[in-house]
Amino acid sequence: MLLALDCSYQTASGALARGDGTLVASFTRPPGTWRGERLIDELAELLAGAGADWRELEALAVSIGPGRFTGVRTAVALARAVGLATGLPVYAVSTLETLAALAASDPATSPLLALLPGKKGEVYAQRFHPDGSPAEPATARSPADLAAVLRPPLRLVGPRAAWQAIPGADRVAHTDSGPHALGVLRAALRRRAAGGEPAPASSVSPLYLRAPDADPGAGRPLIASTA
């Protein structure tokens, strides 16, 4: 069984699937209703409600960003902790890949451009093939830059807040959807089907597409040298 977690944008969600990809159970906590310290209990309750326990899991899956700083770090820290405690490996999946996985169709039709709101007016973006596999690396781009690549049959996927600021976005097909653990599951299962292996929990870390705004090395030291 595979257990997935996502806290990268506004909601917190978990999902449990059998090895063949059949969804067993899931939960979604709306914005403002979830707390990081409760998530381990939420996952335990998800397993118990499905009549399963941690020993039946073969791997974990988690969205590692880009996304909201606190949510991404909360999910990554929890996946690392559970993985280290149980010995379970982890599928570390970008949030944009989870959006594409939710929108991918079978049979494949249109290429996808997954979007999330970024910082300072930028948009996190990544192009995917119709089956949800990446076609380019994830980047942080300006709305004007993205407007230049909007050509049918491209389909935009992601929260409305990400694509509504892009000039001409309403002229191409779009799906208003946020990240969810179901997308994390689907992305992890697609990777596994393609021969991809989960990583050790200790290696999982957040994905950042922009350099931090603060420079930890700038300014004077907090404690003056006595030498």
Are both 162 and 134 inside the same structural domain?
yes
Are both 30 and 138 inside the same structural domain?
no
Q: Is 91 among the domain residues?
A: yes
* Chain centroid offset of residue 99 CA: 8
Are both 113 and 36 inside the same structural domain?
no
Are both 189 and 92 inside the same structural domain?
yes
Q: Is 72 among the domain residues?
A: yes
Q: In the beta sheet, which residues pair with residue 158?
A: 176
Q: Tell me, what's the pLDDT at 152?
A: 85
Query: Residue 227 above 70 pLDDT?
Result: no
Distance, CA of 71 to CA of 110 (rounded, Å)? 30
Kind and range of the H or E element at 61? strand 59-63
Q: Tell me, what's the pLDDT at 212?
A: 54
Are both 59 and 78 inside the same structural domain?
yes
Q: Is 33 among the domain residues?
A: yes
Q: Is 56 among the domain residues?
A: yes
Q: Is 48 among the domain residues?
A: yes
Q: Residue 156, SS3?
A: strand
pLDDT per position as a tens digit, 18-46:
988 899 999 999 887 778 778 999 999 99
pTM of the model: 0.88
pLDDT per position as a tens digit, 112-148:
999 999 988 899 999 999 988 899 999 999 999 999 9
Q: Tell me, what's the pLDDT at 38?
A: 87
Are both 57 and 119 inside the same structural domain?
no
- Please provide the DSSP assignment of 82-146 as one string: HHHHHT--EEEE-HHHHHHHHH--SS--S-EEEEEE-STT-EEEEEE-TTS-BSS--EEE-HHHH
Q: Is 172 among the domain residues?
A: yes
Are both 187 and 77 inside the same structural domain?
yes
Peptide bond into 66 cis (omega under 30): yes
Domain boundary among 159, 176, 193: 176
Q: Is 218 among the domain residues?
A: no
One-letter amino acid for residue 84 of the chain = L
Distance, CA of 56 to CA of 147 (rounded, Å)? 46
Are both 196 and 152 inside the same structural domain?
no
Question: Out of 7-16, 56-65, 217-226, which region has the weakest mean confidence (pLDDT)?
Answer: 217-226
Could you give the number of structural domains in the chain?
Answer: 2
Query: Residue 108 above 80 pLDDT?
Result: no
Query: Residue 225 above 70 pLDDT?
Result: no
The per-residue b/e assignment along 137-170, b for 16 or more CB within 10 angstroms, e otherwise, is ebbbbbbeebeeebeeeebbbbbbebbebbeebe
Are both 87 and 164 inside the same structural domain?
no
Are both 188 and 79 inside the same structural domain?
yes
Are 168 and 147 in contact by the 8 Å Cβ rule? The answer is yes
Q: Are strands 112-117 and 123-128 parallel, antiparallel or unpaired?
A: antiparallel
Are both 54 and 125 inside the same structural domain?
no
Q: In the beta sheet, which residues pair with residue 134?
A: 128
Q: Is 226 among the domain residues?
A: no
Q: Tell me, what's the pLDDT at 32?
A: 76
* Chain centroid offset of residue 160 CA: 17
Q: Tell me, what's the pLDDT at 110?
A: 87
What range defines the domain where residue 142 resides? 103-176
Are both 86 and 139 inside the same structural domain?
no
CATH of the domain at 69: 3.30.420.40
